[in-house]
Amino acid sequence: MKDKDIAVGLDIGTTKIVAMVGRNNEYGKMEILGIGKSKSLGVHRGVVNNITQTIQSIQQAVQEAEANSGVAIDGVVVGIAGQHIRSLQHSDYITRANPDEVISVKDIDMLCNQVHKLVMLPGEEIIHVLPQEYKVDGQAEISEPIGMYGGRLEANFHVVVGQISSIRNIGRCVKSSGLELFGVTLEPLASANAVLSQEEKEAGVALIDIGGGTTDLAIFKDGIIRHTAVIPFGGNVITEDIKEGCSIIEKQAELLKVKFGSAWPGENKDNEIVSIPGLRGREPKEITLKNLSKVIHFRVVEIIEQVFLEIKNYGHDEQKKKLIAGIVITGGGAQLKHLKQLVEYITGMDTRIGYPNEHLAGNSDPETTSPMYATAVGLVLNSLEKNQQLKNEDIVEAEKEEQIQPETKPFVEQPIEAPQQDVNEELAEEVEEEEQEEKYTKPKKHRKNIFEKWFDDFKDFLDNAE
């Protein structure tokens, strides 16, 4: 897979591992070429707890994706989540040595690097530093300070923290599966990219991604990520409750939840009964759908209330922070019947189910636009966007070089009539002007954000580990 127009996302979940191959079509929409999925055996609540089983599951999903797409997969972009992920808000500032010079990329990098040195709990590491708003000499609400004058540069940051051992274990599994790790993306951010529109992000929206082991939350306002959280409950806890409450095996509990489950007990009549085959010649069990819905209802209410608490902690009650676009639910758990109504009832916020078709081509298979594939679609989208940016930067760089060559060549060949000293002075001035101009116009090809620098260090660690 040497083609830069093709990308592969690998979603390592608690219940399933999905490998998705995609590319951009001529209209700039994403086309899914193939998908492979396998049962996730070595992951618990988003964290790898059995390396060998996880490697086998990854290889199985990747082989199926290769067979379906006809593309040989050599590298993937992986999503990270799990109960070890947490986020915090932090403000920091730098005092610039020379306020008469304009603020440059170097100053912003210096400020971000300062945040990166925050002391974390043992075993934790900062994996994402996201600047939100800047202040220059006390002037607030600046989104892009580059090119401005000022002595004190200040910013509010959204800092995402995770257990470095858990992230390294995922990296080790990918590498041991014979794949290269092209990038790491926070799963709530990937899901948000797949199901949210730019208008929703501007207005203010909370994305709830209900997975098997965890429920991820990402809050956007004014187009900026404001809050992320991972709640260590998901669809598997509901299945466990059905298993215990109805005294049946896990496989039957999962089938009951998917086929007959509802988050709203009032929808089921008392005489609606489903019969479950007994084990080894035992009598079949009869379960009323009303009781099944009650079991599901109590656990779903608990999950939603935890998520709503996070939304309140963000400050949704404040007028300035109000989430006008409400809530979007996605992930496999979003397919539970009457979940939308229950979320609206508990939170009082407008709610919709998020399908990952925002950026997909119109002829996509209905199965791939299911909410359960939101993270995988988001990972492929992020990877394709990154590839496109790199391609655009290369094109701009090549065009710049072409423009410079014809201008400089005739200049060298022309006889110099003016005194040498004056020409040298003029040349020096021109070069200085060009350098100043380039500072703002040249594409930031070699500039890496904090997350990319961290990812490069992480890749070096994996390469050097035995």
Which pLDDT score, from 0 to 100, does residue 259 have? 92
Rounded CA separation 217/210 (Å): 9
Burial of 133 (0-12, 13-18, 19+ CB in 10 A): middle
Contact 136, 125 (CB under 8 A): no
Burial of 239 (0-12, 13-18, 19+ CB in 10 A): buried
Q: Which amino acid is at 89?
A: Q
Going residue by residue through the chain, which has 466 residues, state the pLDDT in tens, using 9 for 90 and above.
Answer: 556 688 999 999 889 999 999 998 888 788 899 999 999 988 888 888 899 999 999 999 999 999 999 989 988 999 888 778 888 889 999 999 888 899 998 999 899 999 988 888 888 888 878 888 899 998 888 888 999 999 999 999 989 888 888 888 999 999 999 999 988 888 888 999 999 999 999 999 999 999 998 899 999 999 888 888 888 889 999 999 999 988 889 999 999 999 999 999 887 777 788 888 877 778 888 888 999 999 999 999 999 999 999 999 888 888 888 999 999 999 999 999 999 999 999 999 999 999 998 788 776 777 788 899 999 999 999 888 888 877 776 777 777 677 765 554 444 444 444 444 454 555 555 545 555 555 444 444 455 655 666 677 767 766 666 5
Rounded CA separation 431/414 (Å): 19
Q: What are phi and psi of 283, to 5 degrees?
A: -65, 140
Which pLDDT score, from 0 to 100, does residue 4 have? 67
Which pLDDT score, from 0 to 100, does residue 449 have? 59
Instruction: Give the closest residue to 342 by CA, choosing from 456, 264, 449, 427.
Output: 264
Q: What are the residue ranges of helices labelled H in 229-364?
A: 235-246, 250-260, 289-314, 339-347
Rounded CA separation 91/156 (Å): 4
CA-only gyration radius of the chain, Å: 26
Which pLDDT score, from 0 to 100, does residue 141 have? 85
Structure tokens at 16: 């399933």
Which pLDDT score, from 0 to 100, does residue 26 have? 81
Instruction: Give the closest residue to 158 by CA, choosing from 209, 118, 204.
Output: 118
Rounded CA separation 128/116 (Å): 9
Instruction: Give the closest residue to 337 by CA, choosing from 266, 232, 249.
Output: 266
Domains of the chain: 86-161 (3.30.1490.110), 248-300 (3.90.640.10)
